[in-house]
Amino acid sequence: MIAAALHRTLEVVVGTADRKPHPSQPKRLNALFRDLADPASANLPFEIEDLIWAVWCEHTDAEPAAIMQKSITAIASGEHESAISLLDDLCARQPDWAEAWNKRATLHYIAGRHEQSLLDIQQTLLREPRHFGALSGFGQICLQHDDTQSARIAFEAALRINPHLAQVKNMLSQLGNTRGAMN
């Protein structure tokens, strides 16, 4: 089952380069992503990345925004069952909100429920194909299931969007060294 889920998610990952973000994604993200990829940007890349995460977590409606904040607090406090319940509700009531899917994917990953995590990563990337966090998470799951080829594809996709992900660069470098050692 996990192999099929990995394959389906890889198909979504490969399609991210050609997919536009869902219309529900805030338009101000476009400028932030351009800035993030521009080496001549006057803004620090880590500040831009923080802004992108903040925008992903925002909602125009106060009630879903409050639920998201509660889920973030629950995750930080280790109250994962409470956070899952809140995020299940958000995904059902706000199905176009990519970050609700991504947060739930993260919780499934933490709990070792990789198939559920992959399903939520797919949903995240269908709504926000620039989600470097979801791409990186997919890469991590691939590594845990010895699918280094898919991990490499995911990490490269994440770095095309956010070339400042030092940990992802490091993992990709290790994969390159591993590939070179096997040949």
CATH code assigned at 127 = 1.25.40.10
Q: Note whether 84 and 107 are within 8 A (CB).
A: yes
Report the predicted TM-score, pTM, of the whole model to 2 decimal places.
Answer: 0.94
Residue 165: domain span: 2-14+49-182
Nearest to 125 by CA among 6, 1, 19, 5: 19
23 falls within a domain: no
Q: Is residue 27 part of a domain?
A: no
Render the burial of 149-163: b for 16+ CB within 10 Å, e for the rest.
ebbbbbbebbbebbe
116 assigned to some structural domain? yes
Print pLDDT tens along the chain (183 aa). Answer: 899 999 999 999 999 989 999 999 999 999 999 999 988 887 799 999 999 999 999 999 999 999 999 999 999 999 999 999 999 999 999 999 999 999 999 999 999 999 999 999 999 999 999 999 999 999 999 999 999 999 999 999 999 999 999 999 999 999 986 543 333
Identify which of 47, 38, 21, 3 has the alpha carbon closest to the alpha carbon of residue 134.
21
Domain annotation covers residue 113: yes
Q: Which amino acid is at 164?
A: H
- The predicted structure's pLDDT at residue 178: 56
Q: Examine residue 37 and state whether it is found in any structural domain, yes or no.
A: no
The Cα–Cα gap between 145 and 143 comes to 5
Nearest-Å Rg of the Cα atoms of the chain is 16
For residue 108, tell me if it sits in a domain: yes
**Domain count of the chain?**
1
Does residue 19 belong to any structural domain of this protein? Answer: no
* Token pair belonging to 65: 């925004």
